[in-house]
Amino acid sequence: MNDCDAILQRLSQYLDNQLPETELSALRQEAAPRPECLAMLDAMLWVHRSLETAPMVETSRDFSVSVTHELIWRQRRDKILLGGILTLAVLIALTPLLLVVWGGLAAALEPGLIQNALSWAVSLISDAATYAVAALTLLRHMPQWAIVSISTFLSLSFLLLALTLVMQKAPEQLMASPEIHRQTA
Amino acid sequence: MNNATASSPPSERECLLSAQKGDQQAFAQIVQSYQRPVYNLCYRMLGNQQEAEDATQETFIRAYTNLDRFNPDRKFINWVLTIASNHCVDRLRKRRINWSSLEDDPYVEKIPMPESIDPHRNAERRETSDQMQQWLDQLSPDYRTPVVLLYWYGYSYEEIAETMGISVPAVKSRLHRARKQMAKLITQSQSSRPLATEVPIPAL
């Protein structure tokens, strides 16, 4: 630390009320032989005093309305997302049950139908396995960056699709909400 | 119910308790009470009106969604200003600006300093506040936050340290560096610009 840095450091302590009032004139005397140091000292003092008297910035905007709107919109968005996830979960959970019920009914009404359905399912699984083996072979020879890129692309596509669906639905419901109109009024 | 009680506005504590239970109208009253200091902090931190408005709105939304974590025995303004300053620092960091440290800039040290500073020169030409904001914008977020909290909100060093999650000596160090950097910008401006754009530095 050079002498000027030490003087400026002490000036900061003075500004932080850690040094007595008389310290300022002593600092100015020490800095006086070097104009550049004196200029820095004066500039630091000016910064301090300007900041002390700087006014609060005013805004004419009333944030209470926009915050309330945004809160209601986000709550609805979250509800829609939650509703979508719950619906999907219920559908997934009910699928085996529906299959069993459908199987039972089909067996009762038309005995050959189950056999046909099973053979169709087996061929479907076989085809899917063939495609899976081909895809795995391809992946094995693919560089790592390509796999990462494709995975990222697919993930982002699904995410964007989901977001687009939510964003399309949510504003309509928001605008139609009588709650919003009441609060705006 | 007593008429006087019914017509008197609810206190801040009552509003906060209602808002914690999900009353958005009560929270709207809180927003109205504190929008000015929060907006000022965001503006001083971000230096841009539109961005400051966005940040102010986001600050209140974050406050509402985290209201269950707020202890009503504490000052709400301190809590919401902490949220605002953290949010503004995040925004500033996302700008990906290289906050070059003037401490390391050899050019600054080579600037020929004026022999004396005329106290009244151009004093009426320029809005000091705007100029101050421009210099404030040059500081890195870590230096800007303590300056704003100290000078506009009268925070103590301990409060700044708590808000920023750093030690008191670190607060003092950052304040010193911030003042020094701004002083360098002033002296730099004095020497590199013609008289018409010189910065007035009043008598000391």
Q: How many residues does chain B have?
A: 204
Q: Closest approach of chain A CAs to the CA of B115, in angstroms?
A: 5
- The rounded distance, in Å, linking the Cα atoms of B7 and A115 is 77
Which tokens go with B171?
A: 């607060």
Residue recorded with tokens 């986000």: A74
Sign of CA dihedral A110, A115, A120, A124: positive
**The pLDDT value given to residue B103:** 44
In the predicted model, what is the mean pLDDT of residues B164-191? 89
pLDDT score of B163 more than 80: yes
* One-letter amino acid of A117: A
Q: Specify burial of residue B193 (Cβ count, 10 A radius: 0-12, 13-18, 19+).
A: exposed
A96-133 per-position pLDDT tens digit: 888 888 777 777 777 777 778 788 888 889 999 999 99
Residue recorded with tokens 């303590």: B146
Supply the DSSP symbol for A56. P
Say whether A9 and B128 touch across the interface (CB within 8 A).
no
Q: How many CA atoms within 13 Å lie on the side-chain side of B61?
A: 19
B99-138 per-position pLDDT tens digit: 544 444 433 333 333 334 444 444 443 466 777 888 888 8
Say whether B180 and A44 touch across the interface (CB within 8 A).
yes
Phi-psi region of B96 (alpha: psi -120 to 50; beta: other; left: phi over 0): left
CA angle A143, A146, A147 (to 5 degrees): 90
pLDDT score of B142 more than 80: yes
Q: By the CB < 8 Å criterion, does A21 face chain B?
A: no
How much is the pTM? 0.63
Q: Give me the percent of chain B exceeding a pLDDT of 90.
A: 38
Question: Do residues A166 and A61 touch, judged by C-beta distance below 8 A?
Answer: no
Short-list B113, B102, B105, CA closest to B192: B113
Fold exhibited by the domain B10-96: Rna Polymerase Sigma Factor; Chain: A (1.10.1740)
- The rounded distance, in Å, linking the Cα atoms of A15 and A13 is 5
Considering only CB atoms, which chain A residues are within 8 Å of B28? 64-65, 67-68
pLDDT score of A71 more than 70: yes
**The pLDDT value given to residue A144:** 79
Q: Closest approach of chain B CAs to the CA of A99, in angstroms?
A: 43
For B98-204, CATH gives 1.10.10.10
Which tokens go with B202?
A: 């009043």
**The pLDDT value given to residue B176:** 93
> Which has more pLDDT, B153 or B100?
B153
A146-172 per-position pLDDT tens digit: 888 888 888 888 888 888 777 765 544
Q: What is the ipTM of this complex?
A: 0.71
- The rounded distance, in Å, linking the Cα atoms of B64 and B180 is 38
Lowest-confidence segment of A41-45, A88-92, B11-15, B187-191 by average pLDDT: B187-191
Which tokens go with A123?
A: 């061929």
Domain with CATH 1.10.1740.10 in chain B: 10-96
pLDDT score of B74 more than 50: yes
Domain coordinates in residue numbering, chain A:
3-53, 66-109+142-184
Domain with CATH 1.10.10.10 in chain B: 98-204
pLDDT score of B98 more than 60: no
Question: Do residues B106 and B85 touch, judged by C-beta distance below 8 A?
Answer: no
In the predicted model, what is the mean pLDDT of residues B176-193? 83
Considering only CB atoms, which chain A residues are within 8 Å of B152? 54, 56
Short-list B98, B80, B93, CA closest to B45: B93
B1-41 per-position pLDDT tens digit: 444 444 566 787 888 888 888 888 888 998 998 999 999 99
Q: By the CB < 8 Å criterion, does A47 face chain B?
A: yes
**The pLDDT value given to residue A1:** 54
